[in-house]
Structure 1
Amino acid sequence: MATKNSIRSVHKNGGRGVAIVPADAPANANDAPLLKIGEVADTVGISASVIRSWEKLGLIAPQRTGSKYRLYSQEDVRLLQRARYLSRVRGMNAPAIIELMRTKGEIKASRNGSADNVGLRLRLVRTSRGLSLAQVAEAVGISVGFLSAIERSAMSASVATLRKLAKFYKLNILDLFDQSGGRQYLVRPAERRQLDASDGVRMELLAWGNPVMEPHLFHVAPGAGSGDEEYSHEGEEFLFVLTGLLNLVVDGKEYRLQKGDSFYFESSTPHRWSNTGSKEAVVLWVNTPPTF
């Protein structure tokens, strides 16, 4: 948690709403403050209940603080303004607006924990700890521009880069998924939380609320993978290939896995992986403990 000295509050609209920004961060477009629902309502000209209804429809995906308060980005505000225009000026209903915006690529058809949220979650962690883009970029060995692009969802990060960021923040991959709700024993396919780790790599979380095990379905597109750089961490990993091919390199040795193959290794061993086939690879992947 950040201390009083690491966060400053920005009051707008006569003191209504508080935006959280790091105390030493400049006010610029890349580090624009996250807004509370009252501020967004005033800015867009709609009620808080309407904002929440748009969220349920998948138009926006606000972040949540530890105490479950919603925090909205400038992109959320832009999407809400666009939806308000289409509703009031064009006379379109909510389903038609969502369909139109998805068709035009203004929003993506995504579910909880989607790629659209990863950058915002990383940004929320950074700003809540009072860190600048430059401080984090230098610590993990990437450029400030690249980190900014990741946080704005303008670029995706490889699994290896996400691991570095998670390690720096002392987080694990579960912290990048939607954190609403508690333990769920039965998870239907439509209820799986999803995370797009990088271009062509999608993870579906199969269970949550368990601090010992992290089970996923990895969907790896042809040519996609963890990145060129090997990575390692604490724990153990087990994977079972359901469909397709997966090329796994562990401690410099290459293994070509196909449908029906399983593999176990200690996560502290440097490793990387990729789909060298012509079709999507689907892999049941279990880490213990939950970690990068």
Structure 2
Amino acid sequence: MLGSRISESERCRLDRRAPPGVRLRVSMVECPAMPKGRIPRDRRRTRVTRLGLLTVGQTARVLGMSPSTLRLWENVGLVSPARSDGRYRLYSPELLDVLKRIKYLRDVKLLNLPGIREMLGKPAVSQPANGARPTDLGRKLRVLRKKRGLGVVEAAKRAKISAGFLSAIELSKANPSVATLQRLTATYGTTVLNFYDTRKQSNRLIRLKERRVIRTQSGVTMELLSAGARQLQSMIFRVQPGGGSGGSYSHQGEEFIYMMEGTLELWLDELESHTLRAGDSFWFESTVGHRWHNPSTLEAVLIWINTPPTF
């Protein structure tokens, strides 16, 4: 009955997937040997999935679009997926959030590629934002990791990401979300703001033109308001539609949010969900795991204060 339902090639595939030393003998013909050193495609995909990364085909299915569209967005510089040893494209959860936002800007806001690039905060592919250059971020993270005496696997484990994704970040082939960057800096005993040059800012007065800006690929812009303060950290967050933290994170201290414009959804320990709108204020302990997201079609603008400056 088995032989009447499956093809000869399928029988061979079943034989190859049997445990070492075991033959299922479902095939009636001699199956061609698997090339040495080659891992079956389904096993490669399983291994990649276990690392928290998706292939281009898997990512396309999640987003409901074609792989060719994903390749186009890569070719025009909107995204930069990591590559496996076999040069397969690999998409992290953080990059998936960016792709969802690009799809939203294309399908809902009806923006063309230049418009999408502008909304992502990337006026030119090679032009850096104020503060640290994006290409420096991976190098600085690698230096910090080595100073702490951590290997890639151990550092990734502590930051709750895959080793492959951390390697891609250090090689500037992938960009971390706000949550991932915070967890990495905490692992290395520093904070996010220490990655950006604030030495030229005065301790008390910061002019608008002096304000340092941090941009991420997940639709978030952070403007530093208090570079010289020792006991607090204040910023203006601008969160584009569909943008957010890209995951949950926690640290020491307390936080205060004042909503200036738009809407922000905030989750605490995955148990509480709060929707903040213009005029609302919110306080919580930083030790509680928190993630956030802009669910609306308008930019969210908020003042975010941490004390002490542990973000």
Q: Match of 1:249?
A: 267
Cα distance in 1, alignment partners of residues 195 and 182 from structure 2: 11
After superposition, the Cα gap between the structure-2 partners of 1:280 and 1:154, relative to the gap in structure 1 and judged at 3 Å, is farther
* Cα deviation digits, residues 77-117 of structure 1 (max 9, x gap): xxxxxxxxxxxxxxxxxxxxxxxxxx994511521235444
CA contact (8 A) 1:162 1:197 kept: no
- Check if 1:171 corresponds to 2:186: no
Name the counterpart of 1:28: none
TM-score (norm 2): 0.55
- Cα pair 1:114 1:194 within 8 Å, conserved: no
SS in 2 for 1:231: coil
For 1:201, which of 183, 204, 220 is the aligned residue? 220
Given candidates 227, 231, 234, the residue that maps to 2:252 is 234
Aligned partner (choices 243, 247, 256) of residue 224 of structure 1: 243
Question: Which amino acid in structure 1 is aligned with residue 215 of structure 2?
Answer: D
Aligned to 1:270: 289
Structure 1 unaligned segments of length 5 or more: list them. Answer: 1-102
Q: Which residue among 153, 170, 174 is the counterpart of 1:155?
A: 174
Larger radius of gyration: 2
Letter in 2 for 1:253: E
Q: What RMSD over aligned residues (CA atoms) do the two structures have, in Å?
A: 2.4
Q: CA deviation at 1:132?
A: 3.4
Runs ≥4 residues deviating over 3 A: 103-106, 113-117, 127-132, 179-183
When residues 280 and 116 of structure 1 are mapped into structure 2, their CA distance, relative to the original with a 3 A threshold, is: farther
Question: Structure 2: which 5+ runs fail to align?
Answer: 1-121
Call closer, same or farther: CA 1:240–1:162 in 2, change over 3 Å. same
Alignment-derived partner of residue 307 in structure 2? 288
Q: In structure 2, how many angstroms separate the alpha carbons of the residues matched to 1:139 and 1:255?
A: 28
> CA separation of 1:194/1:118 partners in 2, compared to 1, >3 Å: closer, same or farther?
farther
C-alpha contact (below 8 Å) 2:148/2:188 kept by paired residues: no
Shift of 1:231: 2.4
Amino acid at match of 2:175: S
Alignment of 1:4-19 (within 5 A): none
Structure 1 residues 115, 262: closer, same or farther in 2, change over 3 A? farther
Q: Deviations over 1:119-165 (max 9, x none)?
A: 23212312344443333223323222211222233222122222221
CA distance in 1, matches of 2:289, 2:150: 29
Match of 1:42 in 2: none
| Partner secondary structure for residue 181 of structure 2 | helix
Q: Counterpart of 1:219 in structure 2: which amino acid?
A: R
Q: Secondary structure at the match of 1:148?
A: helix
How much identity, in percent, do the aligned residues show? 42
SS in structure 1 of the partner of residue 138 of structure 2: helix
Q: SS in structure 1 opposite 2:142?
A: helix
CA distance in 1, matches of 2:133, 2:301: 18
Number of aligned pairs?
Answer: 189
Alignment of 1:106-125 (within 5 A): 106-113=125-132, 115-125=134-144
